[in-house]
Structure 1
């Protein structure tokens, strides 16, 4: 990991390169040749996946900047025409087509109400266009967990916390799953949806996520275990 500044060139290269938040691919003209390069658009820490296919910049930004292929949790803000306007916590609302669901047809579309939660994938993200969402996997066109999130509770946390929750090496989700029966959906836009049969468990899971958030108390595994033990005795 290294710290980069806006406008700095980044050594991101891969056959299936995917750029996350804070990075932009530009074309540099050199004589008759045009060569692509990647530059940073914000200050922060440069990160990449284990195989180097995905690169992004981690910063303490509170506002989500949409990036293609990322999973997000949105709130239906408005019905419009054949689709919906969705609040995903970014500068602009996202568009979600009524047909962008598994098995949806013009006669059989989801009946989402204003305020409903959806787990979606960013299908289009461009600085000059409003983001677009899909509620299915692009390759299989199956839901694969995307779609309306019914019941449960929405937790808001830092963008960094969401990325940590999706890291298979992070302690929190395996720990919570070993203690409580739960369903969880993590959006990279600073939102986590949780559900459990017992309301007491939902409260405990929420407090654990908030306590482990680096932008909050940043508690480690031992401290979270103690916290959960204290909550269980109440």
Structure 2
């Protein structure tokens, strides 16, 4: 059933399709007020309740929000964010996203990284903590790098950095050579990155491990042994289609076999 023309708040949790238009409270009366009034929810009914953040799968239009991807509409009251939770596998770079890239080439002072998007991202050798012209990072083709996008838009090549605003690495940089890298859907990544994710908490009771999650759908995991690493990989991949009860039963069985 199409959600075209329905209020966005009433459609949260339901499936939406590309082309659906979701209405927002208090649409503007005059064209010159469009942008300002669309950014504020409930402006006509009372005090503004916060700014509207338009997330993946949605685009602003004169009537409200235009759906561009099929999936389930989600909403976070804190911050007023709307987005479409879909099973999309092709990643589109977004400024500020933390991703896992694979070094494909070194061109002068810039590394080229495959981030799973439509084009490669660039990374300067100076974009590492403590890097200088004399103290260059030891990065080779094939290495894995965890960083964030400093520039990401449709008109420019994506640019990554491995430092935050204060020049610290904050966990970003080269990822260890050992471990296992695999790819999952972007929907599962968002679920794993949620605060206090049940899946991660359950896995932490099974084995000690290292885990790096990239918003581009890539996961790097390393446990004490290769066998334990592969078990964690299989559970993470299957968790997208398992209920919480099924996952707990599988983990309980593995715990009993240790």
TM-score, normalised by the number of residues in structure 2:
0.74
Question: Which consecutive residues of structure 2, in runs of 5 or more, have no partner in the other structure?
Answer: 1-11, 25-37, 41-49
CA contact (8 A) 1:20 1:68 kept: no
Within-5 A mapping of 1:125-164: 125-137=152-164, 139-150=165-176, 151-164=178-191
Tell me the alpha carbon deviations over residues 47-72 of structure 1, each in whole angstroms, 9 at most, x when there is no partner. Answer: 34451265433222210011111111
For 2:130, the equivalent position in structure 1 comes to 103
For 2:239, the equivalent position in structure 1 comes to 212
For 2:56, the equivalent position in structure 1 comes to 21
Tell me the alpha carbon deviations over residues 189-221 of structure 1, each in whole angstroms, 9 at most, x when there is no partner. Answer: 1111111222222111111101102xxxx1122
| Alignment length (residue pairs) | 220
CA contact (8 A) 1:20 1:57 kept: yes
In structure 2, do the counterparts of structure 1 residues 179 and 161 end up closer, same or farther at CA, with 3 Å as the change threshold? Answer: same
Q: Secondary structure at the match of 2:102?
A: strand
For 1:33, the equivalent position in structure 2 comes to none
Larger radius of gyration: 2
Structure 1 distance, partners of 2:167, 2:221, is 25
Structure 2 distance, partners of 1:40, 1:16, is 19
Q: Calculate the aligned-residue CA RMSD, in Å.
A: 2.6
Q: Secondary structure at the match of 1:179?
A: coil
Structure 2 distance, partners of 1:168, 1:78, is 35
In structure 2, do the counterparts of structure 1 residues 165 and 201 end up closer, same or farther at CA, with 3 Å as the change threshold? Answer: same
In structure 2, do the counterparts of structure 1 residues 136 and 39 end up closer, same or farther at CA, with 3 Å as the change threshold? Answer: farther
In structure 2, do the counterparts of structure 1 residues 10 and 149 end up closer, same or farther at CA, with 3 Å as the change threshold? Answer: farther
Within-5 A mapping of 1:88-99: 88-99=115-126
CA contact (8 A) 1:48 1:54 kept: yes
Task: Write 1 or 2 for the structure with the bigger share of strand.
Answer: 1
Question: Which consecutive residues of structure 1, in runs of 5 or more, have no partner in the other structure?
Answer: 29-36
- Deviating more after overlay: 112-121 vs 219-228: 219-228
